Structure 1
Amino acid sequence: MDILVIGGNRYFGKRLIANLRDSGHRVTVLNRGSSPAAFPGDAGIERLTADRDDESALESVLAGRSFDVVVDQVCYTPRQAVVARRVFAGRTRRYVMTSTVEVYGYEDSATPVTEDAVDLASVAVDTELPWDEPEFRDAHYGEGKRQAEAVFAADGSPFAWTSVRVAHVLGGADDFTGRLDHYVRRIGAGEPIAVPAVNHPATYVYVEEIAAFLAWAATADFTGPVNANSHGPLTTADLCAEIGRQVGGGRVAFREVEVGEVSPFSFARSYGMDNGRAERLGYAFGHTGEWLARAVAETVGARNAEAR
């Protein structure tokens, strides 16, 4: 297939690109070119440079081009989704948007949520909000993704569409988020971990697994949202126990916080997804127990390398 990936220069995006290329697909990557390319010039990846927020620039760089599939790694706002619907109408038959568990920001369920917990037809879309302001966009990350999904799901879509709602991603020495490293650093130093008074488990996915799932979703034919997460929810205590085992330092200490900032991956509400739809469609996810030690080892290794 001819596959266009928008974004994808880092973390699981670059693994997705390598996966698609190694599977024999013709891969083109479109991004702003503001950071070093994930692959050298001879890696068999075509590159296009444009700001995805600039509709005229997109139209120009894509003139005369079409793709079997577009995988959009960096659609964060409904405004970006509106532009994408216009620009890629007639240029692709399938559009895969990388979304997030954060779209379930208003749902709090004791059981893992299914895709229909969000009725996209009832989501209010407001493209006039200050989505171009980084602070606003970051503060409304889940809502931006939620509204972007609603734009793609609206009637009259010019292409088949799916959103992959990605669980919290762990693993990789190149994890730029620093969230797991937060625990590695504090536990290694014997510092307490700040958690909510009631701390709920959440669903996770290994960095290599989500890249493989996105590659699979790109070449499938289902539509609509799909949850992407490994089996086996994890608690903050689960993460800390494995980190403590690998870095030592004695017992992990938790500090309950009633009001104020808590550590990443500690949640005052339920944050679990049900991956049953993906499995019914034919994808078999692994279990967190199969990869958690590896994910932690990669983060610990990266920190040790940085310290040397």
Structure 2
Amino acid sequence: MTATALVIGGTRFIGRHTVSELLDNGYDVTVFNRGNHENPFADHPDVAHVEGDRTEEGELRLAGERVDPDIVIDCVAYYPRDVRVATDIFADVDAYVYISSGASYGAKRVPKREDETRLRDCTTEQATDDSDATYGPRKAEGDRAIFAAADEGVNAMAVRPPVVYGPHDYTERFDYWIDRVDNHEEIVVPGDGTNLWHLVYVEDVASALRIVAEEGEAGEAYNVGDGHAPILGEWVDRIADACDTEVETVFAGPRELGAADLELTDFPLYIEYPHLLETAKIRDLGWEPTPLEETVAATVKAHRDSDRTGRENGPDREAEERVLSVLETF
């Protein structure tokens, strides 16, 4: 008998790749969302669609009754209440997997480990706030909801990715750097290029979600990240290789960036303190990351095939050229 999966979300980025991953591994899949975005699986015979709002408990409960899934992958649980409601509704499924985040960690540690590194606190006010500043605390509280559900006998687990990149990435953070490398001979990289922000390829997140659903243990959280974590300067070099081009990287510190009223953190994928996740725990389940040569090449191809530029995620070219002109005088 074919196993059934319910994907809450499922048409844009991580969810889209998760649906494909489940299909490739023999599942019948139902996508549950509001239908606000184009459904790439609309004509697929093994993908059903149930329209509804996951924040409306009755609609999510009805979807669960209609589908009766074996596993549930929750791609759009952004508030602790979302997780608590879902783990109640799906208390009897074989596995409920919540997409958490590396942002749930609250301690500055390198690397961050699931069973050692402290999670962020989350106040009552933060739990219902929708700003970027409370994203990490809300995800951490969702993790705690997973732990509580597992204590009540629910086979609930969490997967914690850092920044995700790859085809169909609507955040366009990685696209910013592809656009720069692909269109200019000289680009500005903030700082000295050694800042470290662990990333993860979207298809590897999708495979992690499936593997955790099949092999994970109730009440556990699993970090997922690329097998190698390049510094920002290396990312630029790898993108240039995938673009089959050459680019001169010019590093700029706070003084040089100040000439264009820029700060280091105005650039996407810049982080002041290293963010690295230990991934041994999920590897023990049989998960393996895709080599970076493949992930970057696929991401560059998808970028070129799309209309994404990522330019709104960082300094515009005019500001960048002002910085370059200042550096040329030194």
TM-score range, shorter chain: 0.7 to 0.9
**Which secondary structure does the structure 2 equivalent of 1:80 belong to?**
helix
Distance 1:183 1:285 in 2: 22
Q: Tell me if the contact between 1:247 and 1:300 (Cα under 8 Å) persists in the aligned partners.
A: no
- Are residues 198 and 253 of structure 1, via their aligned partners in 2, closer, same or farther at CA, if it must alter by over 3 Å? closer
Distance 1:167 1:85 in 2: 23
What amino acid is the match of 1:143?
A: P
Distance 2:248 2:121 in 1: 47
Query: Percent same amino acid at aligned positions?
Result: 25
Deviations 1:133-177 (A, max 9, x none): 54x2x33211111111111112643411111111322222x2211
**Which secondary structure does the structure 2 equivalent of 1:269 belong to?**
coil
**Which secondary structure does the structure 2 equivalent of 1:252 belong to?**
strand
Which residue is equivalent to 2:234? 238
Deviations 1:156-208 (A, max 9, x none): 43411111111322222x22111112112334245643525785212222222
Which residue is equivalent to 1:50? 52
Which residue is equivalent to 2:161? 166
**Which secondary structure does the structure 2 equivalent of 1:113 belong to?**
coil
* Aligned 1:45-194 pairs, distance under 5 A: 45-63=47-65, 65-90=67-92, 92-104=93-105, 106-109=106-109, 111-119=110-118, 124-129=121-126, 131=128, 134=130, 136=131, 138-154=132-148, 156-172=151-167, 174-187=168-181, 188-189=183-184, 192-193=187-188
Q: Tell me if the contact between 2:77 and 2:98 (Cα under 8 Å) persists in the aligned partners.
A: yes
What amino acid is the match of 1:234?
A: P
Q: Out of 268-277 and 79-88, give the one that drifted further.
A: 79-88
- Are residues 61 and 293 of structure 1, via their aligned partners in 2, closer, same or farther at CA, if it must alter by over 3 Å? closer
Distance 2:274 2:96 in 1: 30
**Which secondary structure does the structure 1 equivalent of 2:96 belong to?**
strand
- Are residues 23 and 281 of structure 1, via their aligned partners in 2, closer, same or farther at CA, if it must alter by over 3 Å? closer
- Are residues 166 and 270 of structure 1, via their aligned partners in 2, closer, same or farther at CA, if it must alter by over 3 Å? same
What amino acid is the match of 2:80?
A: P
Deviations 1:24-79 (A, max 9, x none): 21211111111121212343211111111111222234336532211101111112
The answer on 1:210 being equivalent to 2:205 is yes
Q: Out of 192-201 and 174-183, give the one that drifted further.
A: 192-201
Q: Out of 149-158 and 59-68, give the one that drifted further.
A: 59-68
Which residue is equivalent to 1:282? 286
Per-residue deviation, 1:5: 0.8
Per-residue deviation, 1:274: 0.9
Distance 1:239 1:260 in 2: 17
Distance 1:226 1:25 in 2: 22
Distance 1:276 1:305 in 2: 34
TM-score calculated relative to the size of structure 1: 0.85
Distance 2:44 2:264 in 1: 49
Structure 2: unaligned runs, 5 residues or longer = 256-262, 311-330
Structure 1: unaligned runs, 5 residues or longer = none
Which residue is equivalent to 1:229? 225
Q: Tell me if the contact between 2:74 and 2:96 (Cα under 8 Å) persists in the aligned partners.
A: yes
Per-residue deviation, 1:300: 4.2
The count of corresponding residues between Structure 1 and Structure 2 is: 297
Bigger Cα Rg: 2
Q: Tell me if the contact between 2:179 and 2:309 (Cα under 8 Å) persists in the aligned partners.
A: no
Q: Out of 266-275 and 221-230, give the one that drifted further.
A: 221-230
CA RMSD, Structure 1 to Structure 2 (Å): 2.8
